[in-house]
Amino acid sequence: RTVYVNGEYLPENEAKVSIFDRGFLMADGVYEVTSVLGGKLIDFDGHAVRLERSLSELDMPAPISKDDLLEVHRELVRLNGIDEGLIYLQITRGAPDDRDFVFPDPEKVTPTVVLFTQNKPGLAANPQAAKGIKVISIEDIRWGRRDIKTVQLLYPSMGKMMAKKAGCDDAWMVEEGKVTEGTSNNAYIVKGGKIITRHLSNDILHGITRAAVLRFAREAQMEVEERSFTIEEAQSADEAFITSASTFVMPVVEIDGVTLGDGTPGKVAPRLREIYLDESLKAAM
């Protein structure tokens, strides 16, 4: 694989980052994952805009312009011959001379910018979408700024492991009795044709796929309600699903051992998946 590190394209085994990098020592960094379909970038603009916001919320200067970022994404797709897959981008505050809690002076330390590709043939035709996934619920004990896409992914990672141990695919996190989101995705239920998903706040990541899917749903005259819901409400819903850049729209067929409806993905989620894939491919860059 050819990867990108601070302005250079290198074979992955030659790419290096300092041990003093604050991303490594303190998870002081942000990231984005953009999907590639047909060799083109899905929702690139949305990801670039959210990246800028994550950086500014953490007082990090943007080390690369949106146009240059687009070029790097495209170049990595080309160099690695990616038809379907993902591009991972990470920006950290950089590597000061020593470990210190205080942010380094941005004049003295340059941020670390890393991008790499993940080849995923069959991403759009994922057979899991026809079966749906099973989720468990776990308490949401993450910090209070989940709207910033930081690389602090230990708890979501533990949540995935708890799900795996329980023979499931993912975990929905619950705070004050209400579902916040999945470990790496936004969570939805469908009741009487209405799509219900948690409203935006600092409690969840403002998913780029979420924004697109809700827009397409409204354009298709589907009813959308942005509010929180409990696990019990989800278990008695007609359908449930998740969205993310890597899963697009993925039906959920079981929550904490309770089968939803007849245990199949239902109508709304598969339709939204189809619309999302069609429309975002048309707009791909």
Q: Which chain residues interact with ligand PMP by CB under 6 A?
A: 33, 181, 184-186, 205, 207-210, 243-245
Can you tell me the distance from the alpha carbon of 120 to that of 84, in angstroms, rounded to the nearest whole number? Answer: 5
| Residue 214 CB-density burial (10 A; 0-12 exposed, 13-18 middle, 19+ buried) | buried
Instruction: Determine which one of 40, 66, 134, 149 is catalytic.
Output: 149
Angle between helices 208-219 and 268-282 (to 10 degrees): 100
Residue 92 or 184 having the CB closest to ligand PMP: 184
3 state SS of 275: helix
* C-beta of 33 vs 222, nearer to ligand PMP: 33
Minimum Å gap between C-beta 207 and ligand PMP is 3
Task: Check if the beta carbon of residue 228 is closer than 8 Å to that of residue 198.
Answer: yes
Burial of 124 (0-12, 13-18, 19+ CB in 10 A): middle
CB of 25 to ligand PMP, least distance (A): 22
Q: What are phi and psi of 280, to 5 degrees?
A: -75, -25
- 178 given a catalytic annotation: no
**173 DSSP β-pair partners:** 138
For ligand PMP, the closer of residues 205 and 252 by Cβ is 205
Q: Which is nearer to ligand PMP, 82 or 205 (CB)?
A: 205
Shortest Å, Cβ 61 to ligand PMP = 23
Closest contact distance (angstroms) between CB of 204 and ligand PMP is: 6
Are 102 and 138 contacting, i.e. CB atoms less than 8 angstroms apart? no
Could you give the residue numbers annotated as active site? 149
